[in-house]
């Protein structure tokens, strides 16, 4: 199954972001940052292609083991 997301906009203040990470079958085409002093919101725009594995990715299994839920 292939899922394509064309544009995702996140409004997070730039000073609160120190890391961006992706796991699994994700291809990022573009990430844009706008000057938050000139614009009231921070925009991150991505074109993403996702090809999830029916068995999950090794990264997702590692995350489950490292961070058990409540």
Q: Calculate the CA 62 to chain-centre distance.
A: 18
pLDDT value of position 40 = 45
**What residues make up the domain containing 15?**
3-58
Structural domain includes residue 17: yes
pLDDT value of position 31 = 77
pLDDT value of position 35 = 65
Q: Per residue of the chain (70 residues), what is the pLDDT tens digit?
A: 556 655 666 677 777 778 888 788 888 877 777 765 654 444 555 555 556 655 655 555 555 555 555 5
pLDDT value of position 64 = 52
Structural domain includes residue 10: yes
Overall number of domains in the chain: 1
Structural domain includes residue 69: no
Print the SS3 string covering the chain.
CCEEEEEEECCCCHHHCCCCCCCCCEEECCCCCCCCCCCCCCCCEEEEEECCCCCCCHHHHHHHHHCCCC
Structural domain includes residue 66: no
Angstrom distance (rounded) from CA 20 to CA 27: 14
pLDDT value of position 39 = 46
């Amino acid at each position: 199954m292939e899922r394509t997301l064309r544009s995702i906009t996140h409004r997070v203040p730039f000073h609160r972001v120190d890391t961006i990470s992706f796991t699994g079958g994700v291809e990022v085409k573009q990430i844009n940052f706008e000057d938050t002093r000139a614009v009231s919101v921070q925009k991150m725009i991505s074109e993403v292609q996702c090809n999830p594995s029916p068995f999950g990715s090794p990264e997702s299994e590692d995350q489950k083991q490292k961070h058990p839920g409540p």
